[in-house]
Amino acid sequence: MRVPVFEDIKDETEEEKIGEEENEEDQVFYKPVIEDLSMELARKCTELISDIRYKEEFKKSKDKCTFVTDSPMLNHVKNIGAFISEAKYKGTIKADLSNSLYKRMPATIDSVFAGEVTQLQSEVAYKQKHDAAKGFSDYAHMKEPPEVKHAMEVNKHQSNISYRKDVQDTHTYSAELDRPDIKMATQISKIISNAEYKKGQGIMNKEPAVIGRPDFEHAVEASKLSSQVRL
């Protein structure tokens, strides 16, 4: 007894139709779309709507974000990052300048002269700027506190007093030198010094002895007294 096979044939025919339809879709060539005014307007409206939605979402999420305050550590990290970036930038600029065509050009008399003139002008401008900024330093514009001003005035007053005292002592000493007793005491001191020197040299026996004489002893006492008065 034979079994009918109509169902299998039907399935095969359906699969063949589906495969043919897919091949037809693959063989379809898409035509280029020409953008007219209506399509351009629709595209701009779409971009505007998306931009508005983006701004609305940003405003909604802005209140939810937590902003970190600038701590000393964060400021330090920022400063280090800025310093590193600046150093890298300067290094790149120097490398580019060293490899530039101008640097690799052979030096001529005009270029050497121009370089020397530029360097000289830079030095002169730097010195002028330095000299002009001497009187505008922070120290020169600092206000003197009352304590510092008072201390400076006291020091100045003490210096004036010491100077006047030294001047008066000098005048007094020079006036005392002209007195007769001071002159006599000075001469006696010289005689005593000469006598001690000669005694040390062993020539005192050849001269008349003066030690022990009344006038000599009186002169010695006067010399001691004048020394005490001077002190």
Residue range of the domain that includes 227: 179-231
Q: Which of 169, 207, 170 is nearest to 191 (CA)?
A: 207
Q: Report the pLDDT value the prediction gives residue 15, as an integer from 0 to 100.
A: 64
Let me know if residue 13 belongs to a domain. Answer: no
Q: Report the pLDDT value the prediction gives residue 3, as an integer from 0 to 100.
A: 46
Question: Structural domain tally of the chain?
Answer: 2
Let me know if residue 15 belongs to a domain. Answer: no
Give the number of other CB atoms < 10 A from CB of residue 204.
Answer: 16
Q: Report the pLDDT value the prediction gives residue 31, as an integer from 0 to 100.
A: 57
Let me know if residue 93 belongs to a domain. Answer: no
DSSP code at position 100:
S
Let me know if residue 200 belongs to a domain. Answer: yes
Q: What is the pLDDT along the chain (231 residues), one digit of tens a residue?
A: 444 444 455 555 666 666 666 665 555 555 566 667 888 888 888 999 998 988 888 887 766 655 556 678 888 888 888 889 888 888 877 777 666 665 666 667 877 788 888 888 888 888 888 777 666 555 555 666 777 777 788 888 788 777 777 766 665 555 556 667 777 777 777 777 777 777 666 655 544 555 566 766 777 777 776 666 555
Let me know if residue 67 belongs to a domain. Answer: no
DSSP code at position 64:
T
| CA–CA separation, 149 and 131 (whole Å) | 28
| CA–CA separation, 129 and 141 (whole Å) | 18
Query: Is 209 found in the same domain as 173?
Result: no
